[in-house]
Structure formats: C-alpha cells, structure tokens
Amino acid sequence: MHHCFHISEVRQQIFSTVYSSDEDSLRRRHDSILLEWPKLIDSSSRQTLAALARTCRDFSEPALDILWARLDTLEPLVRCFPDSVWSVSDEGVIDLEEPILAVAWHEFRRHARRVHALGRASSLFGNMSKDFIIALGCFPSREGLLPNLRELYWYSHEDGDLDSFMRYFLTPTLRSIRISSFECTVIQCSMVSFIGAMCRELEIFEYSSSSPGSDDTGVLGFVSEYDWLSMDSLRALKIISPFRMPNCYLPHNLNTLSVRLIPEEWSSYGPQCMKTLETLELRSPTFLPCTCFIQKIEAPLLRKLIVDCESHPPAATIGKLFTSLQAQFPHSIMESITVKAGKPRLRNGDKYPCTMQAIRPLLAFSLIKELHLGSLNMSHIDDTDMHEIASSLPGIESLFLGTRYFWKETPRILDPVTQEKPGGGVMNTTITTLSVGCSKFHDPTEVAVVLSAVLPSLKKIVVETLGQNNDREARQEGWEEVVEWVQFFAKIREQERRKNGTES
C-alpha cells in the first residue's frame, strides 16, 4: 500500500468523497431557515465503504466511522446483537426472542458511538416491535443509547405511543433536533420542556405538527422555560404548528426564528428583545398578527424577513405592515424582505390592488438586495412609481413585483427605444435570470434585440407556473427562443464594441 494512505487525513478525505457524513450537511442547514429532511442514504456508497472497511486494518476504522455516521433507522444497529436475541417475522417485524444481557451489547456499543445523525421522514425505530424498543431502554451506559449523536429527526406516530422513547436519544452532544408530529401530545410537551436541560449544546430546534392536540399552550410555551432561555448555544428555532403562542419570552440569542401566529392572540404578544436575530420568518392566516409581532420585537441585526400569510389583504393592511417594518428594523442592515399573500386568483386579481403609498415605507431600506412582493397585486403601479422604486433602491439585485397577477398597464421603464439605443440606454451585465410572469409577445427577435441590450448576460427566462393557462407551453417555448436570440445578439454587440475599440 502506498505510504500516503497511512496518513489519516488522506484516508478521511477519500472516504468522505465516497459518502459524505453529517458534518457538512449540518453546517449547510444551519444557515437555512427551512431545515430539510436528509436525503435517502445511497446504498451503493454504503456498499463501497463496507468493502473498504474489509480491505485492511488501516482502512477499517475510518471507513466504519463514515459508514455509521448517518442512519435512517436503528435497524442496522439492532442487527449487531447476537442472532439469538432477535428474529424477523414473515411480516418483516424485528421481534425480541430473549433478554439482552450485558455481554450482548458489545458490538452494538462499538458502532453506536459512531452514529452522528439518526432518523428521516419515518419512524427511526423502523420495523422493530414495541417489546424490542422497550428493551433498548435497558442499555448499560450512562452516556445514552447513541453517545455521540448530533442530529435527531423524530417522526412521531399518529397515536404518539412511542414519543416517550425520545429520551433514549437526548444526549449532551445533540446540536440539531427536528420533531414532526401528527398531533401535539402531553408527552411531547413534557419532553420538550427538559430538552433545554439535557442538550446544552443544541443549536437548531424545529417542531411541526399537522393538527391540534390536547395541550392548549403548545410546544412554544415550553420553549420559554428557564432551561431554554439560558441556552447560549441555540441559534435557530422553528415552531410550525396550529397552536396558540402564549405571552412568553423566547430564547434571546437566536440567529434564526420561524414561528406560526394565529389571529386570536395577536394582542397578547409580549415584547421580545433578540439582539442577535438575523433571520425572521412569520406565518399566519392573516397579516394582523405578523404586524403586531413586528411592533413588539427588538432586532437591531435583522437581515432577512419573510412574512407568509394565507389571505390577501387590502392595501391599507399591507401599508400598516410595511410602516411597522420601517419603524422597527434598521434600514442600513436589512438585505432581504419577502412577503407572501395567499394563492393568487387571476380572475379577481384587481380586488385588492397594492398602491405605491402602501409600499413606499419599504424604500427606506435603501441598501436592500432582495425585495420579493410577487404575490401582491401590483397592477396599479405606473411608470412614475417604477422610477421611484428604481431610484430609491440602487443596490437591488432581485426584485419581484406582482409577478403572479396580470398588470393593467405595462410599465415603461426604458427611455424611448431607438436604433442606436435599442435598450433605451439601460444595461445590467450581472443579471442572468429574468422572470416574465404571464407576459406575451409576437416576435421573438424583436424582444431579443431589446433584452440583449439591457441584459447581455441573460441565460434563463422563467415563465409563470400558476394557473392552468392553455398557452403556457407555447409561451415557454417562445421565451426559450428569445434567450437563444439574446445570447446571439449579445455576442454580436460584444464583437462590435471590440472592433470599434480596436479601430479607435
């Protein structure tokens, strides 16, 4: 064997290329407000690592460390028990055949210490019988069933009868916990209340539920316990469930917060001082609870805001929300604002038009890079309004205004087009993607002549995906042809500029 393979760092890099462990994925998800379930583990990669582990002693330990780093279920570990302990029924259920004695845990514990991430969008116990699951609670270690576990994805059964076994996995090493529940139960709330005491290094906590449960205060009330509030490590908190948010204080040192609010308690939200918060996501059936929450939060470092509501409110309600944003958050730090308002109804798109007066408070954030108001009806915005937006936001990189609705009039954001200046004198060389919504055209080359002058680096045009418009496919093909012509004309102009520069 070549001497370079004796270097542990080299072996680790090679084996990580075959199958990446949980470290990089955890780091990527830490910066994302939408914490995603891990992807399915590639069986071919695992087979390759298993073969490497059997190749020689130098390869064995590092290959096994990566091979066991992430598990969808506990079944692979359970199969490490002696054959006499377990059996598989005709239905595929793993049954307990005899007591698990202390000596039978040796191989289990050898590999359990390697597991860093456990679970997926299904029960992490797999097809194990309940008797077997109960027997695992007798593990002979004070460190926990998986002593080095860092990520836990807990998918609760509909009846919640296994929720109490979550305690098996609440170790001091945990950094990320995601709980997906059918119903909020008393057991779940009890478990959540002492997670803050048992997992002092926790960085990410997410809880989601699809239906109301027996506990009226909800999980968020238990996150306000002292043990949670005193956690210096917690950076991301996401609570998405149809429960009441009590008048409680949230952990003060969060970087990311995502919560669901309900209209019935908008007046009871207490003031929140979150001096390290950088990303905030608020969800609610209506805009009023979001506006009230924003009015009572202090977040001097907020950079990204997402407001997601199910309804589409009148312009006055939207204006009140934007005025609150202007008053509460620093103008020089905010980088991204996204407002989502229900599902667009193209037939009734003119019912709640958003006026320039309503969105003008957002222009105070002069250094903002992303402003996404695509789901708001901007059909009454005119040329003067477009000029005011463009001049007030000189650093904007991504702007969506009413892209889900038909506009009454097409804003003329260019100077008069001439043969010498087909783009009206406007050009941006950094934009590569353009969303055109439901826009129609007749001559692809005529459109491409203008676009190639304004956006010479354009590589992609996105057509609307909403509704069941019969002509969407034809428009999609037409815009793809436009992109081809844009690139062609842009190359010609570039050659002409070089030629003129050389001749001069």
Provide mean pLDDT across the span 77-102: 92
Q: Between 258 and 240, where is the model more confident?
A: 258
Report for 13-17, 100-104, 432-436, 471-475: range of highest mean pLDDT: 100-104
Judged against a pLDDT cut of 70, whether residue 202 lies above it is answered with yes
Structure token pair of residue 311? 């309804």
Signed CA dihedral, 89, 92, 93, 94: sign only: positive
* Stated pTM of the model: 0.72
pLDDT value for 25: 44
Judged against a pLDDT cut of 60, whether residue 453 lies above it is answered with yes
Q: pLDDT band for position 187 (50/70/90)?
A: confident
Judged against a pLDDT cut of 90, whether residue 335 lies above it is answered with yes
Residue type, 451: L
Q: pLDDT band for position 21 (50/70/90)?
A: very low
Q: What is the mean pLDDT of the chain?
A: 78
Q: Give the residue among 439, 452, 455 at the shortest CA–CA distance from 488.
A: 452
pLDDT value for 105: 92
Rounded to 5°, the CA angle 117-123-129 comes to 115
Task: Give the helix/strand (H/E) hosting 127.
Answer: none
Provide mean pLDDT across the span 413-430: 62
pLDDT value for 300: 92
Task: Give the helix/strand (H/E) hosting 50.
Answer: helix 43-53
pLDDT in tens, 380-412: 777 788 778 888 888 888 888 887 666 655 555
Q: Between 72 and 6, where is the model more confident?
A: 72
pLDDT value for 348: 46
pLDDT value for 64: 84
SS3 500: helix
Least confident of 9-23, 67-81, 330-344, 363-377: 9-23
Spell out the domains of the chain, with CATH numbers in brackets. 1-67 (no CATH), 261-413 (3.80.10), 422-504 (no CATH)
Longest dimension (CA), the chain: 91
Judged against a pLDDT cut of 50, whether residue 38 lies above it is answered with no
Provide mean pLDDT across the span 320-330: 93
Q: Give the residue among 253, 196, 198 at the shortest CA–CA distance from 219.
A: 196
